[in-house]
């Protein structure tokens, strides 16, 4: 190993990728990532300096909480000067939420943080985990002229690298489980890894890494559906501590125009609840005012989420609401692209 070889920290939080078959019981168990070179000897040929850190016990992705995101971010913060890049191994179910959260938490990030996982355990003969892990390491280590090629929080899965806060899980079955519907992939990995540098966010002036660690999770997601009732809305909006609402609307941001619906939206806004309009469609953007069914939401004070994912909207709102900002400042920042999470018209 060369003295100047890239250094990568693997952070195993839990999930399928870190599982192998126990030869005695036949059941799946987490393997020891400190012995990763033994489990995946191909990594040695990369010639990188690789260390690992494992959550003990590992956390199933369905158990992820804001406190878990803080723990991940603090590991990166503590070891930031020691490594050129970071690879976070994570269960797939909430991986897009975690990648979105860290994209907003890690202010002035100048190094790659690549999330990955797998649909089949590392110990399975047909596992997708080995390729996902090895390529994630290569991407995290990639540099040009002494600077990272992709200094962002990203997700690598099945030959595609996407911006973390632009990505959604779309399949529980296929290896190609994640999609960046409204933003180009940052890289495609085939025989060669082809980077789309024009799609990558690069910092201007160098600034020290700042980590935001506070979340306000007094928010709700209200998904509209035909037949939604006033009582259902009252149950959601009646949550006493409610500070923010992500309103998942139809198409380009459309919602019912019945008086009882709009009255409840207006009342919530008057109480100080910040409401962000996000489309239920995987592709496309909210265009408030394009149709009469969204114009009334706009007039009531509902904010456009443009083409933001629900995962990014959720984590962005929780972080902004925790920063002791005035309501108008929160609204302004929700309508601003902070980490490349939305495409403004």
Residues acting as catalytic residues: 16
Cα-Cα-Cα-Cα torsion 176, 180, 181, 184, nearest 10 degrees, comes to -120
24 exposure class (CB count in 10 Å sphere: 0-12, 13-18, 19+): exposed
């Amino acid at each position: 190993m060369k003295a100047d070889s890239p250094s990568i920290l693997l952070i195993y939080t839990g999930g399928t990728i870190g599982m192998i078959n126990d030869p005695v019981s036949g059941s799946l168990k987490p393997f020891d990532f400190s012995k990763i070179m033994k489990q995946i000897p191909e990594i040695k040929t990369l010639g990188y300096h690789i260390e690992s850190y494992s959550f003990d016990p590992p956390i199933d992705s369905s158990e992820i909480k804001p406190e878990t995101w803080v723990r991940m971010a603090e590991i990166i913060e503590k070891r930031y000067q020691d490594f050129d890049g970071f690879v976070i191994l994570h269960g797939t179910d909430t991986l897009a939420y975690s990648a979105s959260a860290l994209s907003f938490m890690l202010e002035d990030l100048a190094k790659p943080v690549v999330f990955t996982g797998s649909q089949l355990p590392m110990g399975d003969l047909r596992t997708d985990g080995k390729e996902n892990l090895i390529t994630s390491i290569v991407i995290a280590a990639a540099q040009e002229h002494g600077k990272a090629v992709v200094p962002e929080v990203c997700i690598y899965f099945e030959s595609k690298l996407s911006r973390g806060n632009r990505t959604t899980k779309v399949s529980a079955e296929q290896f190609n489980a994640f999609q960046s519907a409204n933003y180009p992939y940052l890289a495609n990995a085939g025989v060669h890894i082809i980077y789309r540098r024009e799609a990558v966010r690069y910092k201007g002036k160098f600034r020290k890494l700042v980590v935001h660690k506070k979340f306000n999770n007094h928010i709700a997601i209200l998904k509209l559906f035909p037949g939604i009732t006033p009582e259902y809305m009252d149950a959601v909006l009646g949550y006493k501590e409610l500070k923010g609402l992500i309103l998942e609307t139809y198409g380009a941001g459309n919602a019912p125009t019945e008086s009882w619906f709009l009255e409840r939206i207006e009342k919530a806004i008057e109480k100080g609840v910040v409401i962000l309009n996000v489309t239920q469609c995987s592709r496309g953007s909210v265009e408030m005012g394009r149709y009469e069914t969204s114009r009334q939401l706009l007039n009531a004070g509902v904010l456009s989420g443009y083409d933001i994912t629900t995962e990014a909207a959720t984590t962005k709102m929780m972080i902004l609401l925790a920063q002791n900002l005035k309501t108008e400042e929160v609204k302004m920042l929700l309508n601003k692209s902070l980490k490349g999470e939305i495409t403004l018209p």
